[in-house]
Amino acid sequence: MFSKSCEYGLQAMIYISMHSNSKNKVTLKQIAKSQQIPQPFLSKILQQLVKHKLIGSMKGRNGGFYLLKSPQKITLLEIVKIINGTDLLDGCVLGLSKCSAQNPCPVYYEFKKVKDQIKQILKSKSLNTLSEDILTRSGGAYYNSISKS
């Protein structure tokens, strides 16, 4: 459903949320290795998230990436919009440029309902919620496998 960039961005943000704090930052290498994402590709994605002030970046010996906002305040919708834009959620599924409620395409109303539901799900899920769900559902197995990097 989402681009590979968006999937990787979501995985990286969850990892950063689960592993960083004001004193402990995570490196590009740690994220890439744990999530099996090519480092150059991940670097470009993280630069976008830094530019939009979701994460901070610090160079040097104790450098790395960290969240700039509380994980409770960062929603999946915010991340998706930064990386993928809004076309998937707001654009015409047939690619028509003038599709709207005033000028609907043949499937406008059916897809509007689905897109509204997807937006609501993405808006209701924060990084904090996802991190807690991952820990609860996996009994910590997922967390343990990604924290050994």
pLDDT of 64 above 50: yes
Residue-wise pLDDT tens digits, 82-97: 999 988 888 999 999 8
**pLDDT confidence tier of residue 128, bands split at 50, 70 and 90:** very high
| Count of structural domains, the chain | 1
- Of all residues in the chain, the percent with pLDDT exceeding 70 is 92
Which tops the pLDDT comparison, 22 or 119?
A: 119
Structure pTM?
0.85
pLDDT of 149 above 50: no
Q: What share of the chain is helix, strand, coil (3-state, %, to 5)?
A: 60, 5, 35
For residue 16, give the CATH number of its domain.
1.10.10.10
User: CA 6, 77, 23 angle in degrees (round to 5)?
Assistant: 80
Query: Which residues span the domain enclosing 13?
Result: 4-146
